A and B are shown apart, each in its own frame.
Chain A
């Protein structure tokens, strides 16, 4: 509920005068709608709108998006169902539908459509009916295929309403009937346009009935006069019409145009695609055609449309006047063709640009058209009468009046047509500068009554009139005119002809003109009409200006051109402005009668937004400037004339209500009921008019859409045509080229074939040549083969010859050699011959000599021969003897030699043996030495042991002595003790004191010491075997002075005095002998242990030792520890043997 409340507040805020607040609130609503999918908000909005006619709400509702459409339609359906709210609901529906929402296709399915139809069939309120019909007509093109299930409903509605027009059931005002008639006419066009077969069959069936015949005669037949035969009637069928595929290709505006095409009615009809209706008319009545075109575009109003209409009309004029080309094409294209120089400049796009502005209201996105919709809403909401003025086709005045007007205009313009074609541009160019007043004047000029010269005056009149009318208004002096107008309007309205043709042109009768002009001048030209006009014209005329300026030919008759221009303009303006006055006469009659301002609305169309603004800022003091600024400020730049119109209507309504209130107060008592009635009718009329206006506007939008698309197509087509033409040209050129190429190709082919023939001949020739040549070649080849074999033969022969030559040469050489040899031999033989001769000679000489000697010999031969023979025999024997002797000798020698060889081998063997023996000996020696070494070491250790033992014993002795035991022993054998002491002392040989003690004894024993020497010598001699060795080794040994005494001493100590000393002494230096080795070791040990001090005095020591030796001999028997005595000798023989072996060895070496 809180939300509800807030929604209410927001709704009220929507109508706040502050633009900002409105925008904000609108934004809030849109947001809510976007977020909320519920029907609540939409329902509230619809309620609120129906209550207040609030413009912003209308804006929101018309721009509802998809999800909300259902709610909206439901809600509207609900309201349509109720009689009270039906009208407003229908109006809302009309607004919604005209904007062509995105969900328009859903309309056919919505329950709203049946209820609408139901309402159309049942309702009796003519206002509602008119509105509903218009809505239906608007809707039909949107739902062409889906509307087919309601087709008969549509037809029924048409039947009902057409009969209504005639029968006027109830007390329906005539005025309303006009509206109804117009709307039925529109429905007729729509139905005939969309479903011709069905419709015709319906008409046939419906009006074949007697009771309907009259209706047909009176109402339907006139309508049928304004339509052509629909092509579908020929080609199509009932089913085909309803085929959705047919409609799928068509958009809404396509449908609208389709419908317009079959219309002969200039207000309805379209000029597209060679539908000649309009152009015929326009050909005859250029101005009318201009008007027509203007009306077709402008019937909704604004000077803008006015401006746009001008180029069209001019174009049409130019088309007609020069008559250069048949007008099969639409105006821009005809223009293009007719006036090439201009065509390039006044391009379709320019035309397009001119035509664009009218489209805005429908197509401007709702968001952008905010102000517009606002105004729209207010217009719709407040002033029911305000909406109507522009739309509905005005009641048609009689045709003759129409003709009159149109003929009258050409009279003015005709002389200047030629100029105008060109001067139109400059004029247009100038047009913006023309004061709006003039436009207004021209409005009057449209009547044909106002000339250029009159203009200023007329202007002044207008100004005065404007003032006066304002005053009139103030003074409520309308009543007079009201009566006039009602009568004036009654005339054209009453006759049926008014219904016959809805040409509004006919509504230009003189009578309302004045008031019209007056009223228009009141508002339009009040103060700022000039700036208004200029500002309004800006968008429109500017474009033509841009378009035309390049062509801007200096007009021949400058003086005339403005006039013509004005005239033309006048007509145009008239045509533009006329609709409103024309449409409104009845209203005006009533309105004026009742003192209502609605007629002003149509003047506002001329006056345009500036005036509207003037009204808004009426009370501000600086009207002109403020109005301008304000308009520019308040109205967004995108403000379209339609909005302006709507606002104008609204303002008019406001003023009207004010007036009304002002009026009503005093006149409440007076005649109120009648007055109220009048007001109501007027309001209704206004509403109807507004509805119609809106419908027309919708149509216009569709046309604009269409137009734009067509223009695009035209441009594209033109471009394509150009392209095609170019392509064709190219094609032709290429074809020509191709021809040329073909010819050349043929030529080439001919040449080629010729060449080929030539070639063939040549080839054959060549082939034959080749064959011949090959033949030749083979012959040559054979020849060459033969030659080659010959060559080979020749070569062979040459080789043979060479060989022969060589052989011959050899032979020659040989023979030469032989020759030389022979010559040599010859020379030799010659010399030999000489020699032979010589020798022969000698022989001869010698033979002679021999003979001589033989003679001599024979003389002496007798006694020598025996002797000689004897000697010979002796010699022979001797020789034989010697020979045998030699033989013997040789044999002996041989044996000896053999013997020697044998012996030598023997010797070698022996040597070898010896070597082996030696080696073996060495081996054994080594072995023995090892063993000996072990033994030696054992021996050494033994010695050490004994030493230790001795030491120990001596120690023990020492102890005994110390114990006193020694004393007893002293007495018994003091010498022994002495000896023991001596021994002990000796053991500590290093001690000098003991030595001294010895020295004391030494002299006494000196004698004793001497004998050992010889004994030792004896021992040396005794041991002969050892002696030999020693003898052998002696030469090598220098006597070791140091070692000698010691060894001797130790030898003696051991008990081997005699043999040991000399042997060891002798063997010591010899490193080979084991004895020597041993001795050396011994000595070394000695020297290591105790010899340090021994080297002092060799002599004295030797002395002492000598004494000791002597003593030893004495002691020898005594010492019991001499157990080892026999041990040392054991190795002795070994060593001796070894020595001997060694000696032998040495001897052997010596031998060898």
Chain B
């Protein structure tokens, strides 16, 4: 652990006193200095701490496999990606599938579909549910990542990860959600059950779209840090925390529709707190991830 020895010895006390993330940037920089990036460490780091925004795109790209762990090849790989992006874009333009007026996220969607070979015959084809997920994520991602190439690639890989890596765990999340909600606040859960709102909760929004469109991007990216780094359970805790935060309002509502409607449009102002609490909750229930090394 050379990195740890190089770290500020006060970091332990910072955390004790309650300052978080003082040393994160530095340690992340140390991590990123390695020639061959240690993906596992990056994962652990990203699960433990929120990523500094200036490194977020890089880390995500590395974690999502867009960039290889070697710095040397980054430039070349990115060049390839750019070319690929422009080629696909060009192709879509050539076949007049998109125009300049087409929204960027749809462009991403068609590019994704093209690359996955599922391009519909015409743009007027109705969207499938997964397309909507993609669109929501792309929309959120567009806010987070400036470069369109990066954005496209990250979105694509993110969605791919959801579809591949989390294919089995995502359907389990509602059950886990109920379980943890019961642990945290049994009355709330019973209220929800009494209202019959448990089944109608916006699970798709929460777990499939990973809260894209539900929370503002600034807080969303902190959740996605964890999702990207391989833990989709954080979604459960975010959902639980949302319910706990708006407990009073939810308790006041009696019908499932109202609850669902409210939860689909929760106020944005307290999202940061929700995310922080959710992360704490996650750490509490699942333990703080540690370096496996």
Interface residues of A (CB under 8 A from B): 923, 926-931, 933-935, 937-938, 940-942, 944-945, 947-949, 952, 1085, 1088-1089
Contacts and interface: CB of A to CB of B under 8 A. Distances in A.
Interface in B105-139: 114-115, 117, 119
B72 interface: yes
Given A934-B68, A938-B87, A948-B91, 7 more contacts: A926-B70, A927-B70, A930-B73, A934-B73, A934-B77, A948-B95, A952-B94
A26 B98 CA distance: 133
B83 interface: yes
Given A948-B95, A949-B91, A1089-B117, A934 B80 contact: yes
Given A926-B36, A949-B95, A952-B95, A933 B88 contact: no
Interface string B72-105: 1100110011011001100100110000000000
B69 interface: yes
A929 B87 CA distance: 22
Given A948-B95, A952-B95, A927 B72 contact: yes
A934 B76 contact: yes
Interface residues of B, number: 23
A952 to B, nearest CB: 5
Contacts of B68: 926-927, 929-931, 933-934
Interface string B56-72: 00000000010111101
Contacts of B119: 948
A952 B122 CA distance: 11
Contact of A938 (B72, B84, B91, B94): B84
A265 B80 CA distance: 167
23 contacts: A923-B70, A926-B36, A930-B69, A930-B70, A931-B73, A931-B76, A934-B76, A934-B80, A937-B80, A937-B81, A937-B84, A938-B83, A941-B84, A941-B87, A941-B88, A941-B115, A944-B117, A945-B87, A945-B114, A949-B94, A952-B95, A1088-B117, A1089-B117
Contacts of A952: 94-95
Given A927-B68, A930-B70, A949-B94, A944 B80 contact: no
A929 B73 CA distance: 10
A310 B69 CA distance: 152
B155 to A, nearest CB: 15
Interface of B: 36, 65, 67-70, 72-73, 76-77, 80-81, 83-84, 87-88, 91, 94-95, 114-115, 117, 119
A931 B117 CA distance: 23
Contacts of B91: 945, 948-949
A691 to B, nearest CB: 112
Nearest to A933: B68
B77 A940 contact: no
Contacts of B65: 933
Contact of B117 (A927, A934, A942, A1085): A1085
B80 A923 contact: no
Contacts of B72: 927
Q: Which of B72, B80, B94 has the most CB of A within 10 A?
A: B80
Contacts of A934: 68, 73, 76-77, 80-81, 84
A923 B95 CA distance: 41
Nearest to A935: B80
Point out which of A926, A934, A1085 has the most chain B C-beta atoms below 10 A from its C-beta: A934
A1080 to B, nearest CB: 15
A303 to B, nearest CB: 110
Nearest to B82: A938
A437 B163 CA distance: 153
Nearest to A937: B84
B115 A940 contact: yes
Nearest to B65: A933
A931 B81 CA distance: 10
Contacts of B67: 930
Closest 6 pairs (CB-CB, A-B): A930-B68, A934-B80, A945-B91, A934-B77, A927-B70, A938-B84
Nearest to A922: B36
Nearest to A1088: B117
Nearest to B36: A923
Most chain B CB atoms below 10 A, which of A931, A949, A952, A1085? A931
A931 B66 CA distance: 10
A1083 to B, nearest CB: 14
A956 to B, nearest CB: 10
A937 B80 CA distance: 9
A552 to B, nearest CB: 108
Contacts of B94: 949, 952
Contacts of B87: 938, 941-942, 945
Contacts of A937: 80-81, 84
A1089 B116 CA distance: 9
Contacts of A933: 65, 68
A940 B70 CA distance: 22
Contacts of A930: 67-70, 73, 77
A927 B88 CA distance: 25
A157 to B, nearest CB: 116
A363 to B, nearest CB: 95
Contact of B80 (A926, A928, A938, A1088): A938
Nearest to B91: A945
A942 B114 CA distance: 10
B107 to A, nearest CB: 15
A927 B73 CA distance: 7
A172 B1 CA distance: 158
Contacts of A928: 73
Contacts of A945: 87-88, 91, 114
Nearest to B70: A927
A1124 to B, nearest CB: 11
Contact of B77 (A923, A931, A1089): A931
A930 B69 CA distance: 8
A1091 to B, nearest CB: 12
A944 B88 CA distance: 9
B290 to A, nearest CB: 25
A330 B57 CA distance: 139
Contacts of A940: 115
A947 to B, nearest CB: 7
Interface centre among A926, A945, A1088 (most CB of B within 10 A): A945
A933 to B, nearest CB: 7
A72 B94 CA distance: 146
A36 to B, nearest CB: 85
B73 A948 contact: no
A942 B80 CA distance: 11
Nearest to A929: B68
A435 B70 CA distance: 160
Contacts of A923: 36, 70
A247 B131 CA distance: 136
Contacts of B88: 941, 944-945
Contacts of A941: 84, 87-88, 114-115
A930 to B, nearest CB: 2
A948 B97 CA distance: 11
Contacts of A947: 117
A531 B17 CA distance: 120
A1088 B115 CA distance: 13
Nearest to B35: A923
A550 B7 CA distance: 127
Nearest to A943: B117
Nearest to A956: B95
B266 to A, nearest CB: 38
Nearest to A1089: B117
B212 to A, nearest CB: 24
Nearest to B90: A945
Nearest to A941: B84
Contacts of B80: 931, 934-935, 937-938
Given A931-B68, A949-B91, A944 B115 contact: yes
A923 B67 CA distance: 15
B52 to A, nearest CB: 24
A933 B153 CA distance: 14
B70 A948 contact: no
